[in-house]
Amino acid sequence: MGLIGKIVRTGRVAEKTADRDPSEPDAVERLHGSLQLRHVDVGSCNGCEIEISGCFSPVYDAERYGVRLVASPRHADGLLVTGVVTQNMSRALQETLDAVPAPALVIAVGDCAVSGGIFLDSYAVRGQLSDLVDVDFEIPGCPPDPSQIIGVLRCVTGR
């Protein structure tokens, strides 16, 4: 069977991080000018994703403020979440959040993530992001402008 067989036998593995020690600083206090984010699309129209990619283009260059997108939640300080949470993505969202080292920061980007947007009453929707996880920052807009997104990210990093 080889590698494919091992993958099938093992399945998906997401380790839950240890519970937060109250004596530790919260996510914003521990960043010290640097922010590594894992982007998670839980059911968006991709409008917010286009604006997020614009944030990291040479025009806006979010990396100059110490913000980076990372490929693994295990390397992230928090999540940058777009879209209204669909039935199919609610479990994946929770597993991704569990894989982020505590304390995890959650930033809701766009009206769908913040309030459910126009899709909130759909049969395929579980709800807005704050119904399922604790949200630290909200960036409203449909979609929000890159300057709005960067403004919040700068506020978080203190730069």
Residue ranges per domain, the chain? 31-157
Mean pLDDT within 23-37: 64
Mean pLDDT within 13-27: 52
Q: Does domain 31-157 have CATH number 3.90.180.10?
A: no
pTM summary value: 0.79
Tokens 């914003």 belong to 28
- List the end-to-end C-alpha distance of the chain, in Å, as a whole number: 51
What is the rounded average pLDDT for all residues in the chain?
85
Contact 112, 44 (CB under 8 A): yes
Q: Which of 80, 146, 88 is nearest to 113 (CA)?
A: 80
pLDDT at residue number 23 = 53
